[in-house]
Amino acid sequence: MGKIKKALITGITGQDGSYLSEFLLKKKYQVYGLVRRIALEDETHRLWRIKHLLNKLKLSSASLESYASIVKIIQKIKPDEIYHLGAQSYVAYSFEDEFSTLNTNINGTHYILSAIKDFSPKTRFYFAGSSEMFGKVNKNRQDEKTRFNPRSAYGISKVAGFELTKNYREAYNIFACTGILFNHESPRRGFEFVTRKITSSVAKIKLGNQKKLFLGNISAKRDWGHSKDYVKAMWLMLQQKKPSDFVIGTGKMHSVKDFAKLAFSLVGLDYKKYVKFNKALLRPAEVDTLRANYNKAKKILKWKPTINFNQLVREMVNSDLKSFK
């Protein structure tokens, strides 16, 4: 039997962290998670996405804001792979508090890279980049060569993380990759993101527990895939001979309105009767459209999405209907 591989996941309590944990456990990894101290004190609320896995995971508390706490964990575990998913991930909030978004997202990434360089240089590193790095786009589809033009502190923090990752790869020979992932959703998506906000509201309206759904810019278009497909791409990136950066998406684009229309229609309702506009939900600088060209991932990683838009919306609506009943 070969050596058991060790993977450390930051952001293990989030949507992607939970699916990635399941994926790596199936591949017989020993999975370690870096969580905030408070999470260990409030398992019911903060560990709900991984509660079914808790007896298989090794969780340690640390702070992405503290280099010392990160060094301690990396020195102790010396993981074969680190998946750095932990971040202030909500774009709208990054307009309310640019400072904490930039601090957590940029410093957290920098601290991990620096700790790898000094204490575990063989560790392979995955950075959770984002299509928000492209921001205001001037090409129909975005690929690895598309210019970055971020529109929020969140997008800026991810561009900085991308550049740090590239620099550690080039300057110190660290096996470090950025996945430039387009929006990906699931029944485990946070309630503040528009897809889950819509599917949870559809369920509550259908069950008679909510009357209206207030949204901002419903003309915005996104390339929406399923988190389960995307965590596999993260793993594939770290199994290659050479480190590189990859765009991951579906190549298909839909508007927020399309999403709402389909979600309501799945429970036999007309979205026009329930969706209302709230100006306060508009962003100071919007990203209007995002659509991936994932040819490089298709060619090198042999990756492609398996869950389409209709299946995604259906799974999310059904799951919310079930849980709100």
Report the catalytic residues: 130, 132, 154
**3 state DSSP class of 32:** strand
Sheet containing strand 30-35, strands side by side: 58-61, 30-35, 6-10, 81-84, 124-130, 176-181, 246-248
Q: Which of 61, 69, 217, 319 binds ligand G4F (CB under 6 A)?
A: 217
Q: Output the six-digit token pair for 53.
A: 């896995």
- Would you say how long the chain is, in residues? 325
Is residue 287 within the footprint of ligand NAP (CB under 6 A)?
no
Tokens 């996945």, located at residue: 179
225 and 312 in contact (C-beta within 8 Å)?
yes
Q: Which string of x and - marks every residue 121-160 that binds ligand NAP (by CB under 6 A)?
A: -------x-x------------------------------
Count interface residues toward ligand G4F (CB under 6 A): 25
Is residue 216 within the footprint of ligand NAP (CB under 6 A)?
no
Is residue 188 within the footprint of ligand G4F (CB under 6 A)?
no
Q: Which string of x and - marks every residue 117-156 that binds ligand G4F (by CB under 6 A)?
A: -------------xxx------------------------
Residues 8-27 that bind ligand NAP (CB under 6 A): 11, 13-17
Strands (E), the chain: 6-10, 30-35, 58-61, 81-84, 124-130, 176-181, 184-185, 213-215, 221-222, 225-226, 246-248, 254-255, 275-277
Which CB sits closer to ligand G4F, 25 or 281?
A: 281
Which CB sits closer to ligand G4F, 134 or 175?
A: 134
Residue 258's contacts (CB-CB under 8 Å, 6 or more residues apart) are: none
Residue 42's contacts (CB-CB under 8 Å, 6 or more residues apart) are: none
Segment interacting with ligand G4F, rule: CB under 6 A, options 23-31, 93-101, 210-218, 226-234: 210-218
Residues 87-126 that bind ligand NAP (CB under 6 A): 87-89, 104
Q: Output the six-digit token pair for 62.
A: 């640390």
Q: Which residues bind ligand G4F (CB under 6 A)?
A: 89, 91-92, 130-132, 182-183, 192-195, 197, 215-218, 220, 222, 256, 281, 283, 286-287, 290
